[in-house]
A and B are shown apart, each in its own frame.
Chain A
């Protein structure tokens, strides 16, 4: 089946898959958002245990989605993997370290004789929540703002001279950390941070059975929704008004085009509809629980979650489709990466596409397994009777 697809169709198909994984990852980062709220919402040890355990039963999905996102990006667009990871070294390393400490913190937090004490593991969870969200948001923003790097595949044939035989060279001063100095990048980083917290609050509303925690959740929802909306609007308006990295479909030359991302939105109406629908659903998910707290408090996560996936998905499509360089180089425009010049071969994309047919099956068993163990809200009583708790 996939063998008959053209190369560009497969490249677009894989950009859609990577975008979808990225969008699901941002949604699942409600786990990270929740980790930054443990002490804000949990005033007693029992309350904090409820919150940690609620998040702890989902942390692996975020982690696994991140790993799969990375693996899929590597397999389908290896030049991105090579250029970005090998160049923006410090951003990716800090993200990775933030996820390393998360993985053990849940399992070790409540175990006796855990060497660092349970509070240290809670601090590590907070660090993961803060750095994971802000840095991933900042890194993704560079898909629109660009980075300083050069790609020259002929470097591989350097046997003498002053250069190592390495094809990608990062010219940014701080190996990726300079991205955090760009206010537009930072705006997206903070958008993701506050979005993750908002999603976590909506998730708590859906899953926690504790009135004291719920009171604090409602208050925090407003406190986090406002900065989220402010940063999101800042980033979006900035994006739509700024120049973008256009690719000439004939010559493949990259040039700056004023209002490129606004043009992309207009020229791809399906993406525009997804984007607007996503934004409306996120706002609905936030506003409804604020206005009818008792009656519809538990449903917000569904609207906001799906809305997040749609919005982030459409942002990725804006970055990569419609003759746009998705990983632009501001140092050397012609080194910018497009889905055409950075992808794997036709053969590999076909082989991988068959594997991608497993995704609906994977989603189905995840849904079934979640439903099996999430059939009632979590409370302090359950924590006291559960045989394995975090």
Chain B
């Protein structure tokens, strides 16, 4: 397999990671803030209180600033499947393309049509139509997240499809299995509710800053109230869906699960390392083995978390790589060989069919179908199978920091809501500072969620079916390096501009009703 250009694969991965992470800086805030703005405008329409309109318009301005850069960074992702992952686009385009197209027709037009009414329609349409437009923007934003997350969920657990050897690709056989796969559902619910949490943290943090400065007290308290309730409900939902996600990972992506938990040797009654420090085992033959320097364990918890059964067996990295006959786990070497047979059988089938040899093609097809579930492993037939193990420390630490921050957010929402309801929030400066400094932590948790999901499944683009080395486009590595640098410079420049504009608008505060938002 020395014909693989690993430099090209790595740069293509780096570019996708860069653009995806930049995009995800902005998306969660859009998802959550759109609903928060809709709640606030609903309160304005129901009460007729102009202060609620002023509050709505203030957060709407920040929403607009963030929305624009989210759109800008998003277009790259869709087209990058073609530009940098062309083999992938063909191999699974029959399934993956459909959610993207539906996203455009159902969600993007809804967003882009009604966002114009939302921003420019205050004096041109009725109150109720304006409110409807604001809600439709929120629904459109979240619908767009549904389809792309369904697509991502499908990559983690490819359901509802069958390989067609004649067209040499996977084809959809059940749309509903793709849409309602347990991985897709959990992924969507977990990701969007995390966006609501981030937006709530943002609103509370900015409001806390106003209270610390002794400005805009009414706006700040009302905003904290709306965001606090929304954030509290959302974080509870994040915990619930996170638990569901972990179970689907344990079931469908056992290597990712083992890496997240640094479980090297599988066991029954597996304990959960709630906290741990890792050290690479440098002994010969101990590929990617991490030892615990220190850990605090919860007995049986990992087995329970994975399978809702404290006695359940959880496979470790070693079991998955080297196999475990007792638990019917094939080694990666065996899976690679079966994958190689699947790939070779596909070639034989195509050649036999071309030559008109029906019996040979039928035999090759049978062999291919028997081994297809290992197809992707075939690309590692002559390689070190440890390449199929993701980065354990990255997965392990990212997961723990994300979960730890999640509980911090839960506590914060409870405390600020309690203090706001007791009308004491402006006096608790430590809490206000904590709320302010939780804004960057919200982004850290959000990013780490994707790191866990994506680093943990390496090297699979489609779980067990297509690895990155067989999914990439054949362009020059130097071209990808240049576009990587271009995106890095452009996105960083735009991020700086966004932060400067956003902080300036916050410092300026909400405009008096009727005045322009530019100066």
A joins B in a complex: yes
Q: Chain A residues near B93 (CB, 8 Å)?
A: 74-75, 78-79, 81-82, 344
Asked if B121 and A92 make an inter-chain contact with CB atoms under 8 angstroms apart, the answer reads no
Which stretch of B304-312, B405-413, B469-477 is in the interface? Answer: B469-477
Asked if A89 and B470 make an inter-chain contact with CB atoms under 8 angstroms apart, the answer reads no
CB distance from A32 to the nearest CB of B (A): 14
Asked if A97 and B486 make an inter-chain contact with CB atoms under 8 angstroms apart, the answer reads yes
Asked if A67 and B75 make an inter-chain contact with CB atoms under 8 angstroms apart, the answer reads yes
Asked if A78 and B101 make an inter-chain contact with CB atoms under 8 angstroms apart, the answer reads no
Chain B window 420-436, contacts with chain A (Cβ cutoff 8 Å), 1 for yes, 0 for no: 00000000000000000
Does A270 count as interface, using CB distance less than 8 angstroms?
A: no
Asked if B78 and A63 make an inter-chain contact with CB atoms under 8 angstroms apart, the answer reads no
Chain B window 189-222, contacts with chain A (Cβ cutoff 8 Å), 1 for yes, 0 for no: 0000000000000000000000000000000000
Asked if B121 and A372 make an inter-chain contact with CB atoms under 8 angstroms apart, the answer reads yes
Chain A window 89-106, contacts with chain B (Cβ cutoff 8 Å), 1 for yes, 0 for no: 110110011011111101
Q: How far is the CA of A387 from the CA of B119 in the complex (A)?
A: 8
Q: Look across to chain A and name the residue whose beta carbon is closest to the beta carbon of B494.
A: A104
Does A8 count as interface, using CB distance less than 8 angstroms?
A: no
Partner of B108, one of A64, A96, A166, A169: A64
Q: Look across to chain B and name the residue whose beta carbon is closest to the beta carbon of A106.
A: B68
Q: Look across to chain B and name the residue whose beta carbon is closest to the beta carbon of A79.
A: B90
Of B71, B105, B496, most A-chain CB atoms within 10 Å: B105
Asked if B104 and A116 make an inter-chain contact with CB atoms under 8 angstroms apart, the answer reads no
Partner of A388, one of B61, B175, B473: B61
Asked if B3 and A61 make an inter-chain contact with CB atoms under 8 angstroms apart, the answer reads no
Partner of A372, one of B67, B129, B476: B129
Partner of B340, one of A83, A153, A159, A167: A159
Partner of B104, one of A67, A156, A167, A169: A67
Q: Look across to chain A and name the residue whose beta carbon is closest to the beta carbon of B122.
A: A387
Asked if B78 and A67 make an inter-chain contact with CB atoms under 8 angstroms apart, the answer reads yes
Q: Chain B residues near A359 (CB, 8 Å)?
A: 105
Asked if A103 and B120 make an inter-chain contact with CB atoms under 8 angstroms apart, the answer reads no
Does B76 count as interface, using CB distance less than 8 angstroms?
A: yes
Q: Look across to chain B and name the residue whose beta carbon is closest to the beta carbon of A60.
A: B112
Asked if A76 and B75 make an inter-chain contact with CB atoms under 8 angstroms apart, the answer reads no
Given contacts A85-B89, A167-B87, contact A373 B124 (CB under 8 A): yes
Q: Chain B residues near A57 (CB, 8 Å)?
A: 116, 120
Does B415 count as interface, using CB distance less than 8 angstroms?
A: no
Q: How far is the CA of A358 from the CA of B106 in the complex (A)?
A: 8
Of B124, B125, B486, B497, most A-chain CB atoms within 10 Å: B497
Which stretch of B37-45, B262-270, B377-385, B391-399 is in the interface? Answer: B377-385
Q: Chain B residues near A347 (CB, 8 Å)?
A: 171-173, 175
Q: Chain A residues near B469 (CB, 8 Å)?
A: 164-165
Given contacts A160-B3, A387-B57, contact A71 B100 (CB under 8 A): yes
The number of chain B residues with a CB under 8 A from chain A is 107
Asked if B105 and A75 make an inter-chain contact with CB atoms under 8 angstroms apart, the answer reads no
CB distance from B346 to the nearest CB of A (A): 6
Asked if B472 and A166 make an inter-chain contact with CB atoms under 8 angstroms apart, the answer reads yes
Chain A window 38-76, contacts with chain B (Cβ cutoff 8 Å), 1 for yes, 0 for no: 000000000000000000010011011011101110111
Q: How far is the CA of A164 from the CA of B382 in the complex (A)?
A: 15
Does A269 count as interface, using CB distance less than 8 angstroms?
A: no
CB distance from B92 to the nearest CB of A (A): 8
Q: Look across to chain A and name the residue whose beta carbon is closest to the beta carbon of B125.
A: A372
Q: Chain B residues near A362 (CB, 8 Å)?
A: 105, 109-110
Of A72, A100, A101, A167, most B-chain CB atoms within 10 Å: A100
Q: State the total of A-B contacts with C-beta under 8 angstroms.
A: 322
Chain B window 486-512, contacts with chain A (Cβ cutoff 8 Å), 1 for yes, 0 for no: 100010011011101101110010010
Of B71, B81, B85, B350, most A-chain CB atoms within 10 Å: B71
Q: Look across to chain B and name the residue whose beta carbon is closest to the beta carbon of A83.
A: B86
Chain B window 62-101, contacts with chain A (Cβ cutoff 8 Å), 1 for yes, 0 for no: 0011011101110110110111111101110111111011
Does A181 count as interface, using CB distance less than 8 angstroms?
A: no
Q: How far is the CA of A75 from the CA of B87 in the complex (A)?
A: 15
Given contacts A68-B108, A76-B101, A355-B105, contact A387 B124 (CB under 8 A): no
Does B328 count as interface, using CB distance less than 8 angstroms?
A: no
Q: Chain A residues near B4 (CB, 8 Å)?
A: 164
Asked if A86 and B125 make an inter-chain contact with CB atoms under 8 angstroms apart, the answer reads no
CB distance from A332 to the nearest CB of B (A): 15
Q: Look across to chain A and name the residue whose beta carbon is closest to the beta carbon of B474.
A: A166
Asked if B113 and A85 make an inter-chain contact with CB atoms under 8 angstroms apart, the answer reads no
Asked if B101 and A159 make an inter-chain contact with CB atoms under 8 angstroms apart, the answer reads no
List which A86-126 residues lie within 8 A (CB) of chain B.
Answer: 86-87, 89-90, 92-93, 96-97, 99-104, 106-108, 110-116
Partner of B518, one of A110, A167, A385: A110
Chain A window 146-159, contacts with chain B (Cβ cutoff 8 Å), 1 for yes, 0 for no: 00000001101111
Asked if B116 and A85 make an inter-chain contact with CB atoms under 8 angstroms apart, the answer reads no
Given contacts A90-B479, A351-B175, contact A68 B105 (CB under 8 A): yes
Asked if A84 and B518 make an inter-chain contact with CB atoms under 8 angstroms apart, the answer reads no
Does A294 count as interface, using CB distance less than 8 angstroms?
A: no
Q: Look across to chain A and name the residue whose beta carbon is closest to the beta carbon of B475.
A: A89
Asked if A164 and B3 make an inter-chain contact with CB atoms under 8 angstroms apart, the answer reads yes
Chain A window 366-386, contacts with chain B (Cβ cutoff 8 Å), 1 for yes, 0 for no: 100110110100000000111
Q: How far is the CA of A105 from the CA of B192 in the complex (A)?
A: 27
Q: Chain B residues near A93 (CB, 8 Å)?
A: 83, 483, 486
Of B75, B340, B494, most A-chain CB atoms within 10 Å: B75
Given contacts A67-B108, A167-B87, contact A108 B517 (CB under 8 A): no
Q: How far is the CA of A154 from the CA of B343 in the complex (A)?
A: 10
Q: Chain B residues near A111 (CB, 8 Å)?
A: 65, 501, 504-505, 518
Q: Look across to chain B and name the residue whose beta carbon is closest to the beta carbon of A14.
A: B101
Given contacts A74-B82, A114-B501, A345-B94, contact A108 B516 (CB under 8 A): no
Given contacts A175-B475, A372-B121, contact A154 B82 (CB under 8 A): no
Q: Look across to chain A and name the residue whose beta carbon is closest to the beta carbon of B74.
A: A67
Asked if A164 and B5 make an inter-chain contact with CB atoms under 8 angstroms apart, the answer reads yes
Partner of A345, one of B5, B125, B164, B486: B164
Q: Look across to chain A and name the residue whose beta carbon is closest to the beta carbon of B501.
A: A111
Q: Look across to chain B and name the residue whose beta carbon is closest to the beta carbon of A359.
A: B105
Q: Look across to chain A and name the residue whose beta carbon is closest to the beta carbon of B170.
A: A345
CB distance from A324 to the nearest CB of B (A): 21
Given contacts A85-B86, A387-B122, contact A71 B112 (CB under 8 A): no
CB distance from B8 to the nearest CB of A (A): 8
Q: How far is the CA of A75 from the CA of B76 in the complex (A)?
A: 17
Asked if A86 and B474 make an inter-chain contact with CB atoms under 8 angstroms apart, the answer reads yes
A-B contact pairs, 30 of them (CB 8 A): A57-B116, A60-B71, A64-B109, A68-B101, A71-B103, A76-B101, A82-B89, A84-B82, A85-B83, A104-B494, A111-B504, A112-B519, A113-B503, A113-B504, A114-B500, A115-B500, A116-B493, A153-B90, A159-B343, A163-B3, A165-B470, A344-B93, A344-B97, A344-B98, A362-B109, A362-B110, A373-B124, A387-B57, A387-B517, A388-B517
- Taking A153-B167, A164-B470 as known contacts, 16 extra A-B pairs with beta carbons closer than 8 A to each other, sorted by chain A number, are A67-B78, A75-B101, A81-B89, A89-B473, A103-B68, A111-B518, A153-B90, A156-B470, A159-B378, A160-B3, A162-B3, A166-B474, A345-B171, A348-B95, A362-B105, A388-B120
